Amino acid sequence: MSFKLQILGTASAMPISERNSSAQVLDVHGRLFLIDCGEGTQKRLRQMHLSMLRIEAVFISHIHGDHVFGLFGLLSTMAMYNRQQTLHIFGPEALRSILNFYLSFFGEGSNYEIEFHEVKAKSLEEIYDNGKVKVSAFPLKHKIECYGYRFDELLSERQLLKRSPSSYAYCSDTMAFPQLADYVRGVKLLYHESTYTLEMEQKASQFFHSTTKDAATCALQAGVEKLIIGHYSSRIRDISVFEKECRDFFPNSVAADDCDVFEID
């Protein structure tokens, strides 16, 4: 049974030739959950042999283009594939009008229902439970309303005798703030944006983003097992620089690249 993360895009606001904008797929025992949907997401899904029709729910962190510009194309392609299953989409209230716009202009002939769920979390709050995984949302500190998501595997009492549940947390665009470590405490795998290196700390503060040190410090304070980073500034093409800086504070850090796959035990 799988619990694994597949990285579709690691760029920040400016996509570059070798990197797509933010998007990830979490596979929980064959059920797929899409986290953010930047430009190029549906093409990357095809490249990584991930079925669009198996996506059970979509979780959007916030309404900046590099996190949502791929959504219209994905929804349209699902309709052309004759999707029948309801698609659950979670995100800030502003996403509702975007989806209504899509449906009013491009929704004709679609055979599946899109069910929008507004996220309005003031702390760590459960928003979804399908019997295999519980999903919770938590607020992030960005220029606009923005949320992170935590995925906790649900195991039976018999399964708990054999192993501990897997867990994953996604911290999209955010600046550092004290409560964040509590929201992601103890997860086995943490994704934390790391747009800037240490020498660009002032820009991180200016644009409500994080540095390598911010991401690594959060991982350390939260007691997570492993940290992966992404959402890199286009000014720096060598992502090993980000990884090295993170490892100075939290040794089990990895700079994620497009198409990487992480098994979560």
Considering Cα of 129, then 221, then 5, then 42, what sign does the dihedral take? positive
The CA distances from residue 91 to 2, 88, 126, in Å, are 26, 10, 13
**Residue 66 among the catalytic residues:** yes
Q: Are 233 and 200 in contact (CB under 8 A)?
A: yes
The CA distance from 206 to 39, in Å, is: 25
Burial status of residue 193 (CB atoms within 10 A of its CB: 0-12, 13-18, 19 or more): buried
Reading the block at residue 167, the tokens are: 């867990």
> Of residues 66, 173, 214, 258, which has the active-site annotation?
66
Reading the block at residue 34, the tokens are: 């899409």
Catalytic residues: 66
